[in-house]
A and B are shown apart, each in its own frame.
Chain A
């Protein structure tokens, strides 16, 4: 089996091969890799792919996992409908 075909980011369909390509190009943080290929930008916001990518960065750079910084966690915690955000002003 070709491991490079394994999907690492399920929301955005990013494969292990694509992640490794970004690391080879010199992107050694989750923030940079995310901006280059969209990993972690989907509805789950990197809950599945972030630890997997951290492992790949650690392997490639020889750094321990604890030294690979996590990306900024941004609201919302989970996807929320625009319609749900509308009300509340008048205790409605």
Chain B
């Protein structure tokens, strides 16, 4: 194992790999990625694989818009031969109350002002987009045809390959066990495979970001929360867009492979590292799904799994260094939408680490915002 590095990135998910690639591209010197298991084995590889630009805060709109631009030609951008299965079949987001419709219309004004082509559709127009949608109780929906899907394993693989081409070293099966600091400076990172001397660490550990923060005495308000998901047998293309309903707390999308991937949020899910599957999820998922997409009751479920959202209290990620330890950077707390903003996030984090002006202002997303009371509450999360 390498003995010294200029930057150590903790976490081999899509955020870690994207950050490492961008660091190498900006000439940050020797960059190392440490991953406890294998690439995309955590939240990245367990996510719903959707990609949307319909958000309720300006930052999330911008981050996702720029990421979609990059994903649309990512293999060329990274100069790698990986099919990332990028498809743009839209997101349809039905509203079931006056209040929800109002919030959605407010979001639309924001999205449209940032050139995101989302629009309001009536229940009748929704049926032209998803003919078997149950529109009972629907006030209408927002629809953005340029939202879509991307394969998280393949995007991570693309960034990892591109990073390796720029001499980044990626160590899998390597668990970080401690970080040594002295007089407010990072000295080294201790792993089960040996120690690496470095003065700069990027914490991209997803649900484990708080644990990594505690290794240097930094308390991050990020907590892990289980979210469950299932996949069906593949069938002919029958549903174009992702259907995402905040009322049902549900999302469901047919992947390019033909299988339907779907999940629900559970309001009472406790903070824990539990990623076990539950039988209750299968029943709850099926019950809510057939309410809104009745014909899908005929599909066979082939597998269910769970993963951790790295939740932040305001559902906006922490991107930045720590006041107590200014070479300890965190890129975590994505609250269920890290994958879809990973291309631009990796770039912004790398710019911040090497001390370049960032493409967008992100200094207000440091962990200190919780002490200052300057939160960015994202309303649109399942």
Within 8 A of B (CB), among A51-92: 72, 74-76, 79-83, 85-86, 88-89
Closest to B157 in A: A36
CB-CB contacts below 8 Å: B69-101 with A: none
Alpha-carbon separation in the docked complex, A87 to B286 (Å) = 9
Q: Are B153 and A82 in contact (CB under 8 A)?
A: no
CB pair A82–B302 under 8 Å, yes or no, is no
Q: Count the B residues whose beta carbon is within 8 Å of the partner chain — how many?
A: 31
Does any Cβ of A come within 8 Å of B301's Cβ?
yes
Least Cβ–Cβ distance between A81 and chain B, in angstroms = 6
Chain A residues with CB below 8 A from B45, complex form: 35
Contact segment of B203-211, B240-248, B292-300, B333-341: B292-300
Q: Is the CB of B283 within 8 A of A88?
A: yes
B282 to chain A: closest residue by CB: A85
Q: B298: which of A35, A43, A79, A81 is its contact (CB, 8 Å)?
A: A81
A39 at interface by CB-CB < 8 Å: no
A-B contact count (CB 8 A): 75
Q: Determine whether the beta carbon of A31 is less than 8 Å from that of B38.
A: yes
Taken together as a complex, chains A and B put the C-alpha atoms of A88 and B287 apart, in Å, by: 11
Of the residues B257, B302, B304, contact of A43 by C-beta under 8 Å: B302
Cβ of B25 to closest chain A Cβ, rounded Å: 23
Tell me which residues across on chain A come within 8 A of B234, comparing CB atoms: 42
User: How far, in Å, is B326 (CB) from chain A's closest CB?
Assistant: 36
Minimum C-beta distance from B277 to chain A (A):
5
Whether B41 is near chain A, meaning CB under 8 Å from some CB there, is yes
**Interface contact B279-A82, CB-CB below 8 Å:** no
Scan residues 248-283 of chain B and give those whose CB is less than 8 A from a CB of chain A.
257, 277, 279, 282-283
B287 in contact with A86 (CB, 8 Å): yes
Complex Cα distance, B149 from A50, in Å, reads 28
Please name the 4 residue pairs, one residue from A and one from B, whose CB atoms are nearest each other, closest first.
A79-B300, A85-B286, A83-B297, A35-B153
Cross-chain pairs A/B with CB under 8 angstroms, 27 sampled: A31-B38, A32-B39, A36-B153, A36-B157, A38-B257, A41-B231, A41-B302, A42-B302, A43-B233, A43-B300, A72-B305, A75-B303, A76-B282, A76-B302, A79-B301, A80-B301, A81-B297, A81-B298, A82-B232, A82-B286, A82-B299, A82-B300, A82-B301, A83-B286, A83-B298, A85-B285, A86-B286
